[in-house]
Amino acid sequence: MKFNEGKALLLFTGILTGILLSAFIVNTTSKPAVILTYQQYQKYNREANELKAEIKGLYKDENDFENKLTNYYKSNQKNKSVTDTLKKELNEIKLFAGKSKVEGSGIMIVIDDRHDYVNNEEIMNYITHNSDLLRVVNELKNAGAEAISINEKRINDRTAITCEGPVIMVNGEYIVPPFEILAIGDPEALQYALSLPESYVSQIKDRGLYVKIVKKDKITINELTQKFTVRYIKKME
């Protein structure tokens, strides 16, 4: 009896081994090294993202060019139609590039250093830093500001706000406190965004810097005067 029991156990183990063995073989042969590494996966992901962005731009182009063409074909005075279109486009693009003087409703923010410095305090907290201005500009942009300037320097996509010791540099030109930031946009929305307790402007206020926000019906912001060099970018054909 004892002998039979052992045999049964052996048989059982044998069957189990067989199943496992076949499962193992089937498992490994059906997936012949198709495992993408994380890096490869990321690469594909990145390419998909790239292509999607490119396709979006192409759809926009297709639409724009199509409209332009129908307009040109429709018009019986091609010369005038083209000149008018170019003029309109030039105005739009100058606006986009910050190359035109603009006006509209908005807000004015004045920021100044703290002047009640006492010894042993952290002096850095008393000063307006370039990073402070950068954050405020960013907050304004995110709240929908359409044009921004700091002490008459127009902000655009190539603007750097950097620390140069005791002064701050914007667009390669020096500025000193008090800083007057002008922003065109919805005055209510801009003021609301800057007054939220978690806003950066509230933080620098808490630090003790002088901050004043004034809503304005009419603000004028000058065009960008700085000429940015173009040495490296080439238009793609």
Partner 1 sequence: MKKLKYQLTIGLVCIILGLMISLQFKSTYSNRSKYSYKRIEDLVNEVETLRKQRDDLSAKVKEYQSKVDEIEKSVSSENEVANQMKTELDNLRVLSGLTDVEGPGIIMTLTPSNEIKNDGTTMIYSTDIIDIINELNAAGAEAISINEQRYVGSTQIKEAGAAIKINDEKFSPIEPFTIKAIGDPKILEGAFKMPGGIKDKLEELAGINVKITQVQNIKILKYNKNIQYKFIKTGR
From 74-82, 115-123, 173-181, 204-212, give the range in contact with partner 1 by CB under 8 A: 74-82
What is the spatial distance between Cα 134 and Cα 124, in angstroms, rounded to a whole number?
16
| Residues of this chain, 169-208, that bind partner 1 according to CB under 8 A | 184-186
69 or 167: CB nearest partner 1: 69
What is the spatial distance between Cα 168 and Cα 113, in angstroms, rounded to a whole number?
13
| Residues of this chain, 10-39, that bind partner 1 according to CB under 8 A | 10, 13-14, 16-17, 20-21, 23-24, 27-28, 31, 34-38
| Residues of this chain, 101-140, that bind partner 1 according to CB under 8 A | 101-106, 131, 134-135, 138
Within 13 Å of residue 78, how many CA atoms lie on the same side as its CB?
4
In the complex, least distance from residue 184 CB atom to partner 1, rounded to whole angstroms: 5
What is the spatial distance between Cα 199 and Cα 184, in angstroms, rounded to a whole number?
19
Q: How many residues belong to the site for partner 1 (CB under 8 A)?
A: 98
Q: Find the radius of gyration of the CA atoms of the chain.
A: 32
**Is residue 157 a contact point for partner 1 (CB under 8 A)?**
yes
Query: Using CB under 8 A, which of 1, 26, 118, 236 touches partner 1?
Result: 236
User: Within a 10 A sphere around the Cβ of 220, how many other Cβ atoms?
Assistant: 14
Give one DSSP letter per residue of 160-228, joined into a string.
-EEEETTEEEETTEEE-SSEEEEEES-HHHHHHHHHSTTSHHHHHHHTT-EEEEEEEEEEEEPPP-PPP
In the complex, least distance from residue 226 CB atom to partner 1, rounded to whole angstroms: 12
In the complex, least distance from residue 192 CB atom to partner 1, rounded to whole angstroms: 15
| Residues of this chain, 212-231, that bind partner 1 according to CB under 8 A | 220, 228-231
For the record, the structure tokens of 201 come out as 């402007």
Query: Using CB under 8 A, which of 68, 114, 129, 215 touches partner 1?
Result: 68
Contact by Cβ (8 Å): 140, 194: yes
From 95-103, 108-116, 118-126, 207-215, give the range in contact with partner 1 by CB under 8 A: 95-103
In the complex, least distance from residue 76 CB atom to partner 1, rounded to whole angstroms: 14
From 63-71, 112-120, 173-181, 201-209, give the range in contact with partner 1 by CB under 8 A: 63-71
Q: What is the DSSP letter of 120?
A: T
For the record, the structure tokens of 66 come out as 């199509």
